[in-house]
Structure formats: C-alpha cells, structure tokens
Copies of this chain bind each other. A is one copy, B any other.
Amino acid sequence: MKSATLLSFTEENYLKAIYSLTQKHGSPETSTSHIAEQLSTKPSTVTDMLRKLADKKLIAYEKYRKIELTKSGKQLAILVIRKHRLWEVFLHEKLQFGWDEVHEIAEQLEHIQSEELITRLERFLGFPKFDPHGDPIPSANGELHAGQRITLSDVQINKSCEVVGVNDSSAVFLKYLQQVDIGIGTKIKVLEKISFDGSMAISLPRKVSISVSKKFADNLMVIL
C-alpha cells in the first residue's frame, strides 16, 4: 500500500498535472506540450521528466507516442489531490481563508510527507466530502466517489439540495455568492422555474426567497 520510493515535490506536481489534464480532456492520454503549459515549463524539460517517471513505472510512455498514468502513478496523483483538497478545507473552514485564497497555499501544503498527518487532519475536519470549490475529496485508498454532483439548474421544483461548489470561480461570482450568503453546505430549495429564461426562485435558510438567473443556476454545483 505504501510506495517504497518517495517522490520529489516536482515529480508529484507532474503526476498531478498529468492527472488533471486527462480528467479535463476526457482521454486518459495527454501530450508533452500540454503538460509543459500546465506547469509553466518548457516541453524539453517535460520530456526529461517523462523518461524519469517512466523509469519509475508511474507513467506508460513511448517517445513521440502516448503519455498515460499507470495504476500506481494515478494512485499517487490522487493522493496528492486528496492532500490538496483536505488542506483547502482546513484553510477555509478553520482559518477562514476565502475560496479564492486557499489554492495557492494548498499547493505547498499538499507536498508535506506524512500519511499520519493526513489521516488525522481528515478526522479533525470531520471527514469532509468536498473541498471549498466543491471538488470531491478522494478517500485514503484513492477512491473518488463523485457522488451525484449536479447543477442547481438540474434540481426539480420543490426539491431541496445542498451546495457543494461552483463551476465558475470568478471573483464576481464568488462575491455575489457571499453577498447572498451562499457557501459550501448551504441548503437550497427550488420554489419555481421560469421556462421563459431559465431563471428560478429559490429559498435559503432564514431569508426571503430570491430569484436567480439561469447562468447563476448553471454555475452552482449541488447534491440532492
């Protein structure tokens, strides 16, 4: 279960980048130049690292051909993401950092080496399922039970749901959310849907109901 070879800060970042890219683009493969862009580095640098990761059996790689994480490479990438997201929860929930501030610091914290630390941190935080951006937190064995994340738009009339994140993490959107007091964990009930423009009326805890646009509802992720 525990990997013999400890990875460097940099190696972990490459695995994470490759994992993110494959997630984002659907395909389990990605390219040298995409990785370079993701990590703000040069393609030649990436090639060097790819050979190294291939030697360590963390990626399947043939030059000029495909780049794909192996099972163990994927596992390690997910563990880094797990650490990142748990730290984000800590920063947001316990230290009151804003949604937009947590990422940068978590980029550093995710590389701290100690399984026990993460086990205890997770318990301390009450086994959260999502980070402050609503992305799911993988379990210790690397499972990413995505649950049923849907947009607010998909919620039926008279159903209630719970906010788990956003699609659009622009400052304006986040600011508006803050203004109407919607955050991770907020319970929302859908009262009405206007088919004309897709806007909807929703009720919030201890608030009169408010009306939100389709664009708004499309960008708010919830679970039922």
Where the two chains meet, the residues of A that have a C-beta atom closer than 8 Å to any C-beta of B are 91, 94-97, 101, 104-105, 108-109, 112-114, 116-117, 120-121, 124
Contact = CB atoms under 8 A, between A and B. Distances in A.
Contact of A117 (B95, B117, B120, B121): B95
Q: How many copies of this chain are found per oligomer?
A: 2
A170 B186 CA distance: 49
A87 to B, nearest CB: 10
Contact of A112 (B97, B105, B116): B105
Given A96-B120, A101-B116, A108-B113, 16 more contacts: A91-B117, A94-B124, A95-B117, A95-B120, A95-B121, A95-B124, A97-B116, A97-B120, A104-B114, A105-B112, A105-B114, A105-B117, A108-B112, A108-B114, A109-B109, A109-B112
Interface majority SS on A: helix, strand, loop or mixed? helix
A92 B95 CA distance: 17
Contacts of A104: 114
Best-buried of A104, A114, A121 by chain B (most CB within 10 Å): A114
A163 to B, nearest CB: 24
Nearest to A113: B108
Contacts of A112: 105, 108-109
Nearest to A104: B114
A105 B112 CA distance: 8
A218 to B, nearest CB: 32
Contacts of A91: 117
A21 B124 CA distance: 36
A26 B173 CA distance: 56
Nearest to A120: B95
